[in-house]
């Protein structure tokens, strides 16, 4: 937690531990876009072209069509409110020609700002095990956005955005729930938990706080409210030149909350057969118990009952290999999904279905479209009851 006027760290805990930033990544994408506007490369009215790759990004998204265009002003609003992954790629390609080149530029910018433990591999925050940051680095980025681009920072105050007749609400509920909060960004992927960078003003004093790894959006928001309350108390004490307050019982800033997921790489667990189903480990750490859908910013909702099937095999190991190969071929769509190998009888034969589950139907369709571009077999499936029971565990 940082006092922006002085840069004074009010409190920290695990602030340099690397974790997945998820959609907080889009703060850097926006900073790069603001730089491009200021340099004269774009205006707010400039139209950015939507590539086939950008349109194929998984949710959260606007659903832009290949060959269409979007105004820079709308792109900014879509990134802030909807956290649109398709728009993030549109911006990346417009600035650097490709998302991979943009990610290199993002990382260089991070180094220039002193974000020494941050590496970007994409513009959206979609799952990539090499895309890492820290609470301290995200606080630095937040402070730069506020100080360097105060006019553009006003975009982060937007509570809703209407595009093509549809209105999208900002995922940052603290804009309504905490007086003084005026912006910055949420982030969520299964491997990260619920992240949030928030800034608030009280009594003329501004604070930036960052939380990584909340177990749910609600618990993360409650934790952030506690942080901000205590932070403003500390600022007031310091301004009145009184003795420092005693250390709080709970940390004011965490790169991963104590009740959140551990960000680590685990050895692959062996397959286990349950009720005729061979259950293999998930490809990445997940928060399936939180009943979250998608790979963008979402609040709690019903569990997704769709997925994809990438083959049926007589050998369960080959089924597992097929699922992992599919994930490697379309990581933006499939990294972090639940892998399930299900044993079924087909006549006199036994087959093992290779499935990746936990998707909305639109996500499953997008994943299959991406795999078919690489000439891979893929069908959209509705998960069986046994599959859903496994996902819900």
Phi-psi category of residue 117: left, alpha or beta, with phi > 0 → left and psi -120 to 50 → alpha: alpha
Overall pTM > 0.75: no
Q: Tell me the two tokens of residue 81.
A: 């409110």
What's residue 287's pLDDT?
A: 30
**Beta strands per DSSP E along the chain:** 2-3, 8-9, 47-49, 69-71, 160-163, 166-169, 181-183, 186-189, 193-202, 205-214, 272-274, 277-279, 306-313, 338-346, 349-359, 379-382
What's residue 343's pLDDT?
A: 85
Average pLDDT on 357-364 reads 84
What's residue 238's pLDDT?
A: 58
Q: Is the pLDDT of residue 272 over 60?
A: no
Same domain, 82 and 149: yes
Q: What is the CATH number of the domain that holds 79?
A: 3.40.710.10
Q: Which is nearest to 181 in space by CA: 221, 214, 239, 235?
A: 221
Same domain, 99 and 231: yes
Q: Please answer whether residues 367 and 331 qualify as being in contact, where contact means their C-beta atoms are separated by less than 8 angstroms.
A: no
Alpha-carbon gap, residue 337 to 246, rounded angstroms: 44
DSSP line for 157-194: G--EEEETTEEEE-S-THHHHSTTEEE--EEEETTTEE
Q: How many domains does the chain have?
A: 2
Q: Is the pLDDT of residue 282 over 90?
A: no
Which domain covers residue 42, as residue numbers? 2-239
Phi-psi category of residue 316: left, alpha or beta, with phi > 0 → left and psi -120 to 50 → alpha: alpha
List, by residue number, the catalytic residues: 23, 26, 83
Same domain, 188 and 316: no
Residue 250 annotated in ligand binding:
no
Last residue of a domain, one of 187, 217, 239: 239
């Amino acid at each position: 937690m940082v006092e922006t006027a002085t840069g004074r760290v009010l409190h920290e805990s695990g602030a340099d531990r690397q974790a997945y930033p998820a959609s907080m990544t889009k703060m850097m994408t926006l900073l790069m876009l603001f730089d491009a506007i200021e340099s004269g490369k774009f205006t707010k009215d400039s139209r950015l072209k939507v590539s086939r790759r950008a349109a194929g990004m998984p949710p959260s998204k606007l659903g832009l069509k290949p060959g269409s265009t979007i105004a820079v002003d709308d792109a900014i609003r879509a990134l802030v409110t909807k956290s649109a992954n398709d728009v993030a790629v549109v911006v990346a390609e417009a600035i650097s020609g490709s998302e991979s080149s943009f990610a290199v530029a993002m990382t260089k910018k991070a180094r220039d700002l002193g974000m020494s433990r941050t590496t970007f591999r994409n513009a959206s925050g979609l799952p990539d095990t090499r895309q890492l940051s820290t609470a301290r680095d995200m606080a630095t980025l937040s402070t730069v956005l506020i100080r360097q681009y105060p006019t553009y920072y006003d975009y982060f105050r937007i509570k809703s955005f209407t595009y093509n007749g549809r209105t999208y609400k900002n995922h940052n509920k603290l804009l309504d729930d905490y007086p003084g909060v005026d912006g910055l960004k949420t982030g969520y992927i299964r491997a990260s938990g619920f992240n949030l960078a928030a800034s608030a003003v009280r009594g003329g004093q501004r604070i930036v706080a960052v939380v990584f790894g909340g177990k749910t959006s609600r618990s993360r928001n409650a934790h952030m409210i506690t942080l901000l309350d205590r932070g403003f108390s500390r600022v007031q004490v310091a301004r009145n030149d009184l003795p420092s307050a005693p250390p709080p019982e709970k940390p004011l800033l965490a790169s991963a909350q104590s009740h959140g997921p551990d960000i680590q790489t685990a050895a692959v667990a062996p397959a286990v057969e349950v009720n005729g189903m061979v259950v293999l480990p998930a490809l990445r750490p997940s928060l399936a118990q939180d009943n979250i859908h998608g790979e963008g910013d979402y609040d709690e909702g019903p569990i997704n009952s769709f997925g994809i099937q990438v083959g049926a095999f007589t050998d369960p190991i080959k089924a597992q290999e097929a699922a992992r190969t599919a994930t490697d071929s379309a990581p933006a769509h499939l990294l972090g999904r639940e892998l399930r190998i299900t044993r079924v009888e087909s006549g006199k034969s036994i087959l093992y279905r290779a499935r990746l589950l936990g998707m909305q139907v639109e996500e499953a369709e997008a994943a299959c479209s991406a795999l078919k571009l690489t000439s891979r077999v893929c069908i959209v499936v509705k998960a069986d009851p046994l599959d859903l029971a496994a996902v819900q565990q």
